[in-house]
Structure 1
């Protein structure tokens, strides 16, 4: 699944400056962009200092890349170790309880910059933005991602709240700048003039989907990515699901009216019983023909139906209840003088769960089965704390 299908077309980078996570007081530098043909096109840059501004700027955004530049982030510059006997984190911060911190590293020449922040602080910031329905799918610290553009920037440049010093295209030092009024500097990046305040944001777009260096942070972010994808499915899937339900109800009404009128006409017809008997005989022939076709079809299948059904049931997570499983379901109702039509090489599965993540797990299990060629989500909807799904499996078969 490509990124547009996973996350949509609207993206954002939020550079979180203040470590005050109350809704009434905070400061963030926000940039938004749209993803067009796998390239980000910058749409908005804004300095946000209130919850109303945040909602206005990010009203179409459901996820973001967050940069934390608050004073809770600690940075150390160390010499690059000559061997791997000691980790960069241990050398920069001896006796640190690593279980309490997330970290990021930036290698520059013979030196390494190491940034750390308490996990509780990071999670608190992420949860703050989640109140506005914005899921953090990637995260970095301070100016580290700005190193991507150091070759096209002057020796001394400003990135967000930091003044960066370089020598021969290597970052040698940095300084935190308190007063934002001193940061009104612009740099030409390609054809665009980018304000120094938003330079880290622009760089973050180029690594939006990369994994975090810290394994613990990557594990935490991967859960957020799953929640962001599920949230997108729920937001877009519910209206589609309601439309499908209304369409099915309309079709059922038309079919019901047709058969009701036909039944009334048959009651008037004196030959109703004879016609009914003939219809039954015709139906028996159709069923015999169908059994013959099914036998031939089963002989051509790569896997017997019993094996397929057993595997589908075996990989169902314990939190999921399956209430309907149809093997090669009928495409439409049986009509007079017409053949029964089946949806060949197909299985419909309907179930419910209180844990939406188990649906994703079940889909992954099914996609890995050797007899499955495609998994399609027909419907996914939530009512109270119950999630109901309807999926169709397309089976592999011999030509």
Structure 2
């Protein structure tokens, strides 16, 4: 339950659903932004465009995106029967295809089944296109299968998408091509949704509910996509919290140093006749001034360069690596009274675990190529008592 709560927190209150579809031999996208306010879903923005290569500039790339691919590169077949075996339904629908090369999704109704398939190279190409724009896809569906999530919220016996009519009375065909492009608006549990955005909305609903009534290897892939989204979102938010906490502590130290500095000034004026005491006071003031300078430099460096480098390193973390600790300019040794604070300047310490040594090596090499990185040293790398491969790397900045 705690993990589910954390996952919902990482998901946030805003979601984007995107449907890729083919109309008159042209690929288009229908984009829908949904916001959750006071427990209700509200449509905040929507756009239907033929520009499938770039998402609109006003879209926040940090939000969770749910992708529905419903183009002419997705083949859908309707079968009689609802056999519980995915393999039997797949082989019945497409007996001669190499299934390792395809993603598939199966929607089982009462007496019929819809099987949607698409080549992995095609789907992965679309996902890579979004990843190249800094967008994290948190979920994926093929064809009209995602509409299964919303039929219970509609009083109709059929719904229209951008290019199809979907009926679940099972008397006629479940999915047929649409002959007109007229817009329709449906009421789904009180929310008015245009037919152009039905599949995207259904995907968002699946993302929020965290469940699906369909089956297929697409759902296994969804678990990977959602895990990658949660991990990177947690890392980014964790870094922000860490930097905020660090700056707060540094500010407290800064004010503390100022307080003791003023106290030293008062003592200095009272003991102005005692040369020996004045020398001691001047030495104390010098140490405080050095510490104050370090604190100011640390704050300036932390607030400017650190966030840029951290974001760049975070963007290169592969799915096979889980970070557990990130220390910027760590202490050289414990703080002791009457001793100056010493830190490992221009240094990052990163710890975590990996399940793919090759991916770890590639990640380290990618960090070394960052402009402001001078050197990357693997401090620790090996299996622990749980047989997991842990590591610690030290990154020296220029």
Deviations 1:139-191 (A, max 9, x none): 111222223444635444412311224437x77332234x7x62312223333
Matches within 5 A, 1:226-375: 226-259=227-260, 265=267, 351-353=349-351
Q: Residue by residue, what CA displacement relative to the aligned partner does 1:20-46 show, whole Å, maximum 9, x if unpaired?
A: xxxxx9511111111335543222222
Change (3 A) 1:133 1:110: same
Q: Structure 1 357/49 Cα, relative in aligned 2: closer, same or farther at 3 Å?
A: farther
Cα-to-partner distance string for 1:42-65 (whole Å, 9 max, x where unaligned): 222220333798323523653211
Kept in 1: contact 2:75–2:117 (CA 8 A): yes
Distance 1:226 1:257, change over 3 A: same
Structure 2 partner of 1:167: 169
Which residue does the alignment assign to 1:50? 51
Segment of structure 1 superposing worse, 221-230 or 261-270:
261-270
Q: Tell me if structure 2 keeps the 8 A contact 1:164–1:171.
A: no
Name which of structure 1's ranges 153-162 and 233-242 shifts more when overlaid on structure 2. 233-242
**2:136, 2:40 → 1: CA distance?**
21
Q: Does 1:69 align with 2:67?
A: no
Q: Does the CA-based 8 Å contact 1:108-1:171 persist in structure 2?
A: no
SS of the aligned residue for 2:207 comes to coil
Offset, 1:13: 0.7
- CA RMSD for the aligned pairs? 4.5
Gaps in structure 1 of 5+ consecutive residues: 20-24, 273-316, 325-329, 336-349, 359-381, 387-399
Q: What TM-score, normalized to structure 1?
A: 0.59
| Pairwise CA distance, 1:214 | 5.2
Structure 2 counterpart of 1:9, from 4, 7, 13: 13
| Counterpart position of 1:199 | 198
1:171–1:67 CA distance, 2 compared to 1 (3 A): farther
Q: Is the 8 A contact 2:83 2:89 kept in 1?
A: no
Q: Which has the higher mean CA deviation after the structures are superposed, 8-17 or 238-247?
A: 238-247
- Residue pair 1:62, 1:133 contacting (<8 A) in 2 also: no
Could you tell me which of 158, 161, 164 is aligned with 2:160? 158
Q: Which residue of 1 aligns with 2:364?
A: none
The higher radius of gyration belongs to 1
- Verify the 8 A CA contact 1:145 1:203 in the aligned structure 2: yes
Contact 1:12 1:63 in 2 (8 A): yes
Residue 69 of structure 1: how far off its partner (Å) = 0.3
- Residue 133 (structure 1) aligns with: 134
Does 2:118 align with 1:117?
yes
**Offset, 1:12:** 0.8
Structure 2: distance between partners of 1:62 and 1:234:
14
Residue deviations 1:238-271 (CA, integer Å, cap 9, x gap)? 5544444443333333333444566674887799
Distance 1:33 1:27 in 2: 20
- Residue 73 of structure 2 aligns to a residue whose secondary structure is coil
Per the TM alignment, residue 67 of structure 1 is displaced from its structure 2 partner at its CA by: 0.7
Residues 1:105 and 2:106 are matched in the alignment: yes
